[in-house]
């Protein structure tokens, strides 16, 4: 027998599939606050098990919202942010390999429709605060030209948190113009997010994309925040903990601003990291890191830059009072799912290229079964990884090749390779990876490396735009 609540859930799912959830429910589309942390370890919040780092705001959102326990992203920064903005795997448009380097002239191709453009067309006010890293070599790739009504923050991947510069060159903008504000970047981001909320016109729904640069290297924090962790002796670990707490404080300030503005009950808040925490200095970024790497992805294997769970499975939360159940949600969700899901809530229909994302709103809101059984971790000329149900294939195709197969239900830490015992599963998943590879655009990073190696044209445009290669 179908209960009344279950019937309502099914009806909501059907309406959402048509991209008409908001209209069908008779509700005004929600405000959307989308918050992304930078290189946050899977286990580095209170609600995911940290015993040393204090994150009361995130813990409260997790306790009163959906804790998305099977939420996947790409292994590195640029690909994840591109997947979020397009609803399409980065392999479709050449952003599947690495991150956009400082000298890179490319970005998300201009023929890709982005999430803020979809929401803008649905009547949303759109604002971005924080880190972009989706194209800086030409202003055509910048946020204000890609669907945001306002932008405040940095265009590239890694900046000094106090000077807002990369290799000594400033990277700080308001709109399309350089800005010179002083202060710690992530505190300034929270300041700006609060101002956006306070100044919001309630006649329109708000989409605010708040992308912190913490706890990405360099490991830096103001002295008063470092002092909150007197028991941590290692300087990197102390700074990292302080940086996570600054992100959490920013979340708390955003929630309070929503409450003070009377917007909280009409607002969906989403939070996750762009990839797993750094466990290998190769992926730490431009900054020279002396000492240990403090991020923890326990109990997951490895971290940022890898195709293992520690690089691609992240802590994630969805919170909307009265609309999202307060419970763990273990259905598979990939960051590409966010565009079609949010478009559905907005009553919008994306008009761009075919999406890889699925509408997962019933999964998020009600804990319904996920519409997807497959997760594409990444596919590029060197490697590929795919999850189908509980089986996960990690295929290093570059010489010397290596194939691993894991049963994630029985072995979530990926400790036991089962490829030899399951050749049919390996063959099937390899065929799917190969299929995706045939659909792959050439990696723009590789094309850029060829350009920089063999042909470097004269620099044009603003001569102050000179960035490092942090991610």
Task: State the DSSP string of 147-185.
Answer: T-SEEEEESSS---TTT-EETTEE--EETTEE----S-H
Distances (CA, A) of 464 to 55, 171, 232, 262: 38, 9, 39, 42
177 - beta bridge partners? 174
* Mean pLDDT of the region 92-114: 95
101, two tokens = 């380097």
d(C-alpha 261, C-alpha 257), whole Å = 6
Catalytically active residues are 77, 133
Q: For domain 382-439, which architecture applies?
A: 2-Layer Sandwich (3.30)
User: pLDDT tens, 347-370?
Assistant: 999 998 999 999 999 999 999 999
Q: pLDDT value at position 75? A: 97
The stretch 237-258 carries a mean pLDDT of 98
Higher pLDDT residue, 342 or 453? 342
| pLDDT given at position 1 | 39
The separation between CA 273 and the C-alpha centre of its own chain, rounded to angstroms, equals 5
In CATH, which superfamily holds the domain spanning 22-373?
A: Alkaline Phosphatase, subunit A (3.40.720.10)
Which of 264, 236, 238 minimizes the C-alpha distance to 251? 264
Parse the chain into domains and list their residue ranges: 22-373, 382-439
Q: What is the pLDDT, as a whole number, of residue 291? A: 82
């Amino acid at each position: 027998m179908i209960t009344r609540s279950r019937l309502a859930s099914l009806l909501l799912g059907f309406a959402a599939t048509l991209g008409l959830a908001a209209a069908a429910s008779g509700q005004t589309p929600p405000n959307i606050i989308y918050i992304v942390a930078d290189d946050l370890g899977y286990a580095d919040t209170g609600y995911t098990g940290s015993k040393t780092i204090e994150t009361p705001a995130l813990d409260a959102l997790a306790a009163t919202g959906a804790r998305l326990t099977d939420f996947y992203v790409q292994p590195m920064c640029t690909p994840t942010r591109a997947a979020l903005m397009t609803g399409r795997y980065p392999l479709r448009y050449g952003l599947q390999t690495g991150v956009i380097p400082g000298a890179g002239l490319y970005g998300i191709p201009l023929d890709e429709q982005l999430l803020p453009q979809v929401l803008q067309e649905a009547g949303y006010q759109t604002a971005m605060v924080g880190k972009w890293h989706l194209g800086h070599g030409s202003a055509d790739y910048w946020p204000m030209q890609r669907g945001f009504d306002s932008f405040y923050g940095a265009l590239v991947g890694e900046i000094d948190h106090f000077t807002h510069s990369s290799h000594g060159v400033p990277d700080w903008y308001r709109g399309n113009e350089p800005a010179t504000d002083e202060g710690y970047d992530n505190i300034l981001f929270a300041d700006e997010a609060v101002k956006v909320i306070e100044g919001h016109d309630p006649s329109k729904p708000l989409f605010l994309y708040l992308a912190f640069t913490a706890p990405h290297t360099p490991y830096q924090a103001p002295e008063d925040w470092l002092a909150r962790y007197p028991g941590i002796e290692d300087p990197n670990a102390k700074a990292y903990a302080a940086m996570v707490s600054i992100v959490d404080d920013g979340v708390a300030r955003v929630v309070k601003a929503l409450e003070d503005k009377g917007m909280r009950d009409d607002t969906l808040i989403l939070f996750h990291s762009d990839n797993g925490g750094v466990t290998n200095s190769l992926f730490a970024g431009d900054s020279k890191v002396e000492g240990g790497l403090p991020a923890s992805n326990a109990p997951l294997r490895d971290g940022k830059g890898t195709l293992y769970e520690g690089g691609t499975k992240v802590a994630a939360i969805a919170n909307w009072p009265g609309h999202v159940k307060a419970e763990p949600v273990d259905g598979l969700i990939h960051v590409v799912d966010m565009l079609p899901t949010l478009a559905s809530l907005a009553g919008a229909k994306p008009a761009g290229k075919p999406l890889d994302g699925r509408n997962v709103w019933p999964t998020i809101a009600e804990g319904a079964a996920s519409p997807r059984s497959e997760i594409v971790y990444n596919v590029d000329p060197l490697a590929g990884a795919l999850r189908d149900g509980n089986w996960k294939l990690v295929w290093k195709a570059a010489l010397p090749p290596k194939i691993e197969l894991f049963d994630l239900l029985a072995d979530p830490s990926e400790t036991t390779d089962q490829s030899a015992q399951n050749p049919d599963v390996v063959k099937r998943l390899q065929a799917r990876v190969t299929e995706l590879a045939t659909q792959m655009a050439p990696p723009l990073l590789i094309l850029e490396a060829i350009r920089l190696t063999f042909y470097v044209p004269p620099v044009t445009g603003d001569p102050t735009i000179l960035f490092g290669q942090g991610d």
